[in-house]
Amino acid sequence: QRLCLDKWYAGNPPKAFLTIECSKGTYVRTLCHDLGQALGCGAYMSYLVRVRSGSFKIQDSWTLEEIEKAAGEGSFAFLLPLTAGVDLPQVILPEFRIKAFKNGLPTRKEFVQGSWDENAPYVQVMDNENLLGIGVWREESLYPHKVF
């Protein structure tokens, strides 16, 4: 967590530009209000630029004009794989267990490749290249939680 005052503009009303690094679930509008209460003058947020959310950064983003141009040229490089938005360990199922996973059946631990945290029950379930779904560990087996 971090809060920095980047710029201050005196005036009526004065304006402050802040950089805030916070965890998910932080209400920035409420934080601005609370700062105003603590200063005894009131405060509100007039705009917000989110520069990062998880692993996504603003410098890696595309403008609508860039997307339109790329799509018009037949390029879809702006599309990210599903795995880009899933922050979980990856495991790989052998080919003979893929259909079973997609049909909701569990796979015993000895058939699953990869490493995972025993305290974090959810994992990305992959074939060799594609995200099949999200799995959950129960009773020494990997069960489908969400299948794509």
Report residue 117's pLDDT band, with 50, 70 and 90 as the boundaries. confident
Q: Is the pLDDT of residue 118 over 80?
A: no
Q: How many CA atoms lie within 13 A of 70 on its CB side?
A: 11
pLDDT attached to residue 141: 94
Q: Is the peptide bond prior to 13 cis by the omega test (within 30 degrees of 0)? A: yes
Residue 4: phi and psi, rounded to 5, are: -130, 140
**Structure tokens, 67:** 């997307």
C-beta separation of 48 from 60 below 8 A: no
Q: Could you report the per-residue pLDDT of 20-68, keeping only the tens digit for each? A: 999 888 999 999 999 999 988 889 999 999 999 888 999 999 999 999 9
Q: Is the pLDDT of residue 145 over 80?
A: yes
Mean pLDDT of 61-80: 96
Q: How many CA atoms lie within 13 A of 101 on its CB side?
A: 32
**3-class DSSP assignment, residue 137:** strand
Say what the pTM is.
Answer: 0.64
